[in-house]
Amino acid sequence: MNAMIDSSLADHAAIRCAFVQARANGLRAKDAAQAIGSSEGAVIAAHVGQHEQPLKAQALKPEWFEILSALEPCGDLMALTRNESVVHEKDGVYKGFSREGQVALCNNDDIDLRIFFFQWHAGFYVTETGRDGKVMRSLQFFNKHGVAVHKIYAREATNLQALEAVVTRFVDARADYQFVPAAAPAAVADDSSMDAEGLRTAWAAMQDTHDFFGMLKKFGCERQQSFRLTQGLYSEALHLNAVTPLLEQSAATALPIMVFVGSKGCIQIHSGPVKQVRPMQSAGGADWINVLDPGFSLHLRRDLITSAWLVRKPTSDGIVTSVELFDASGDVVAMFFGVRHPGEPELTAWRDLAENLPRA
């Protein structure tokens, strides 16, 4: 499609027509929205109401915690959280919720989420009929810029009657969600302006991995900047493709690992071994490494990774080692740990694997 369509100016019918054509050309929903010059959230919003296109949407009340908490009777669902470089998909039941203000947890054997509702702006129930006549059903949530923060898909085992009951309860015919462009990210202060010695002293005094965020805030330090300032002591720059031996060796040894992938509004976690690790080159040049296991899928674009770090954080249980991947956004797009529980040291096998990954 040659003409770019500005969703703030084009009417909804034009957006719908352009989107369905982009989808017919084989593009996924996010990529199709980008191809027509719109955010994904704005495209979904354009499908609310009566029309003849195969994708239809209903706006939901902004009662995000209540919606998620109501999903347990639906049974098996697929949780999807993604960013520009990584997609994390996990099957399970939405149960085990807790909340403190605008932050919520969902924690059970399958679905493990850290949710930041201050980033959630719009929600929709979406149905899309494929060429085979099958209907894909999902709940989709977006931030104010129209970027997906979390999606939930019906599976074959889903109780569709229970799902429809949730939709009926929370649908909001009066909602009119609007989206605004994202501002340019703030510039990172020069490394030389940081209190590197103070940072290293505070790093050494950490008792919990969660102390890390407060430490960065205290010193006004960006995440990768903190790695540069502690390199050789608490961090090591890894080869950009370090994720490949990480996943392949984890699979070969059945090593249980934790895989964290986040959007701006949700972090989704897999805990356990990975089994089927498959690289894939797409026709468009994308270089993927995939985990294709029953109940868990990971799709990571290796060609978009611009830096990788081995990170060591002191805790009361000993050093906790992570591998963190970044893309051109400057944000961490995936993190890997060995499976551990509070009060336990990390797995020696995980630490050995991480420490022996190829350096930059």
Map out the domains of the chain as residue ranges: 1-104+119-183, 191-355
Q: Which of 203, 207, 227, 225 is nearest to 215 (CA)?
A: 203
Show Cβ contacts of residue 242 under 8 Å, excluding neighbours closer than 6 positions: 308, 323, 357, 358
User: Averaged over 12-39, what is the pLDDT?
Assistant: 93
Q: Which fold has domain 1-104+119-183?
A: Heme iron utilization protein-like fold (3.40.1570)
Query: What are the structure tokens assigned to 277, written together?
Result: 């690790």
List, for residues 290-314, the tens digit of each pLDDT value.
999 999 999 999 999 999 999 999 9
User: Averaged over 320-333, what is the pLDDT?
Assistant: 97
Percent of the chain with pLDDT over 90: 92
pLDDT of residue 335: 98
pLDDT reading at 7 higher than 80: no
Rg (CA), the chain: 21
Query: What are the structure tokens assigned to 245, written together?
Result: 């031996």
Q: H or E stretch including 111? A: none
Amino acid code (one letter) for 8:
S
User: Averaged over 265-285, what is the pLDDT?
Assistant: 94
pLDDT of residue 4: 41
Distances (CA, A) of 217 to 191, 202, 226, 286: 15, 12, 11, 35
Task: Give the other-Cβ count within 10 Å of 104's Cβ.
Answer: 19
pLDDT of residue 6: 44
Contact at 8 Å (CB) between 340 and 221?
A: no
User: Averaged over 177-204, what is the pLDDT?
Assistant: 96
pLDDT of residue 284: 78
User: Averaged over 136-152, what is the pLDDT?
Assistant: 98
Q: Using a cut of 0.75, tell me whether the model's pTM lies above it.
A: yes
User: What confidence tier does 130 reach under pLDDT thresholds 50, 70, 90?
Assistant: confident
Show Cβ contacts of residue 27 under 8 Å, excluding neighbours closer than 6 positions: 35
List, for residues 227-249, the tens digit of each pLDDT value.
999 999 999 999 999 999 999 99
Distances (CA, A) of 21 to 35, 190, 282: 10, 46, 21
Q: What is the mean pLDDT of the chain?
A: 95
List, for residues 173-188, the tens digit of each pLDDT value.
999 999 999 999 889 9
1-104+119-183 and 191-355 agree in CATH topology = yes
User: What confidence tier does 8 reach under pLDDT thresholds 50, 70, 90?
Assistant: very low
Task: Give the other-Cβ count within 10 Å of 237's Cβ.
Answer: 17
Distance CA 25, CA 39 (A): 18
Distances (CA, A) of 320 to 167, 228, 258: 42, 18, 12
Helices 211-219 + 196-204 axis angle, to 10: 160
Q: What angle do CA 139, 46, 146 make, to 5 degrees?
A: 60
Task: Give the other-Cβ count within 10 Å of 325's Cβ.
Answer: 25
Asked if the 191-355 domain carries CATH number 3.40.1570.10, the reply is yes
Show Cβ contacts of residue 166 under 8 Å, excluding neighbours closer than 6 positions: 67, 70, 71, 74
